[in-house]
Amino acid sequence: MTITETTPAPQGYAASSWAPPLGWPAMSIKQIEAILCAPGQPFEIETVEVEGVATRCWKNAPPSLAALALAARAHGERTFIVYENERVSYEAWFRATATLAHALQAAGIGKGDRVALAMRNLPEWPVAFFAIVSLGAIAVPLNAWWTGGELAYGISDSGARLLIADGERLDRISPYLSELEDLESILVTRSTSDLPHKAKPLEDLIGSPHGYTALDAATLPDIALAPEDAATIFYTSGTTGNPKGALGSHRNMTTNILTTAYAGVRSALRRGEAPPAPEPAVMLTVIPLFHVTACSAGMTGIMFGGSTMVFMHRWDTVKALEIIERERVTATGGVPTIAWQLIEHPDRDKYDLSSLKSISYGGAPSAPELVRKIRDIFGALPGNGWGMTETMATVTSHSAEDYLNRPDSCGPAVPVSDLKIMDADGVTELGVGEVGELWARGPQIVKGYWNKPEASAATFVDGWVRTGDLARLDEEGFCYIVDRAKDMIIRGGENIYSSEVENVLYDHPAVTDAALIGLPHRTLGEEPAAVVHLAPGTHASEAELQAWVRERLAAFKVPVRIVFCTDTLPRNANGKILKKDLAGLFG
């Protein structure tokens, strides 16, 4: 059945009170692509066969992550990472990366081996990640917010031989180590606990970040790497069952380097200006690197351009304001929550935030009002985009005046990618303005799901990924997400799949019926809330069920409210719960 959108796509005036200046846009999206992507230009596109499918690719993207690491080394003593009182230059980072890569190679880690990476954003994270992938091994970044059991699942499912973790994550995983038969060894950093027998300090191999500059000026191991070689497994929650590992290639990761750069050049040409000369940025990176947004869409472009990443131990608005002033941060964001908290903090005017040039985000619903506030309050240009773990982040990009003009869109597809809107039959392509399932293709689409051939076959079709999102496209190709994958809630950028939480609630002896829905939240986008029905003669309080979930799942998945229903939950003729009827119970 085709769902037709009858309301035209809103334009910028009503939503953001922004009036396009006279003569804007100076060029169309297609005109800009024809100029920037022509032969001989930096954004030249070539067609390459990827997994048997002819695919448009950036000709000048680095062919592998090892090639990116070598290019990044050329930035020398420029600051790459700032974390509290630690500052690591590109040269120091490279020396640590190369030293660790040789140590891993000597320990038997090689092409195709999986190495799990579980730590918060620390200077050690990019060192470990690039040491792994430069060997042709597969980096498996695990969600640092997961519980011990969830982390153990990721290690087991990926078949990781080695775990590189910080002390906090190792403490969570330790009770499960006896169950992880494939895990041969552990390297741990910043640990204050006694280490299990499989573990030794990462510092024994590379020292602490303060000392990276004194390491030998080694180069990377000489490993033959092809763009299509597997490089990463990022886990994405599934609507049913356990999380699935999205298997990504070197090309998937490096595609975002030129995709990110292209967006800035396009914005300049849209306003009739010559593209500015590239200059290093200072990025306050508050999104965890275990997300494709921060790792692929963020870190790769930062490294290629010689920019700086500033990490925080954990998000704190006042500390963020202090960092922006002290480090002269030019860009930040990640999810709308970050922007809202900076905007609404009562002490914001006490800090010099004039260095901010852009605040970009994705991963959660955002209000058109936020787009205007970023421009009016900070004088910065807003940006967003659309992607998912299966697309290694960016498929559409939306920034500057285009975003002000269409604040409810996530932008057009990047030049190497295509979007189409498909009917529920999976065969019929729908027209402009019609709502259906969003399909995407391009060189950033992952190879499939790790060891899940049936799920891969259902999701990846002839180079296209079936996203599960409902969307429409306008006449110029700008995309509008009108609903998201079934049963998914996005809380401040973190995906929460209803079935996972519902299954935990069902495990409680008193619960016989349960449904999780998303409640709108101004800054987080959504928060999870549950409706449950208890078995006759039993009792459970809201606090008890929240604690039950908290013991078994990451904290961000715990329902913020639980409403009890005296009857079983409403269902349709097929037995599916009518979740749209439940929101009214929360008043």
pLDDT tens for each residue of 240-262: 568 899 999 999 999 999 999 99
Residues contacting 574, CB < 8 A, separation 6+: none
Residues contacting 194, CB < 8 A, separation 6+: none
Question: pTM (2 decimals)?
Answer: 0.87
Q: SS3 of 54, please?
A: strand
Q: What are the start and end residues of each CATH 3.30.300.30 domain in the chain?
A: 491-586
Q: Which of 51-65, 368-382, 416-430 has the lowest average pLDDT?
A: 368-382
Q: What are the start and end residues of each CATH 3.40.50.12780 domain in the chain?
A: 56-395
The model's pLDDT over 523-533, given as tens digits with 9 standing for 90+, comes to: 898 999 999 99
pLDDT score recorded for residue 506: 86
Instruction: Please give the mean pLDDT across all residues of the chain.
Output: 91
The model's pLDDT over 214-246, given as tens digits with 9 standing for 90+, comes to: 999 889 999 999 999 999 999 986 445 688 999
Amino acid letter for position 5: E
Amino acid letter for position 551: E
pLDDT score recorded for residue 3: 26
Is the separation of the CB atoms in 209 and 124 below 8 Å?
A: yes
Q: SS3 of 211, please?
A: helix
pLDDT band at 11 (very low <50, low <70, confident <90, very high): very low
Q: Which of 75-79, 172-176, 307-311, 568-572 has the lowest average pLDDT?
A: 568-572
CB count, 10 Å around CB of 427? 7
Q: Is the pLDDT of residue 89 over 70?
A: yes
Torsions phi, psi for 29 (to 5 deg): -60, -45
The model's pLDDT over 288-329, given as tens digits with 9 standing for 90+, comes to: 999 999 999 999 999 999 999 999 999 999 999 999 999 999
Burial category of 216 from C-beta neighbours within 10 Å (exposed 0-12, middle 13-18, buried 19 and up) = exposed
Give me the CATH code for the 56-395 domain, please: 3.40.50.12780
Is the separation of the CB atoms in 323 and 373 below 8 Å?
A: no
Question: Would you give the end-to-end CA distance of the chain in angstroms?
Answer: 33
Is the separation of the CB atoms in 63 and 184 below 8 Å?
A: no
Give me the CATH code for the 491-586 domain, please: 3.30.300.30
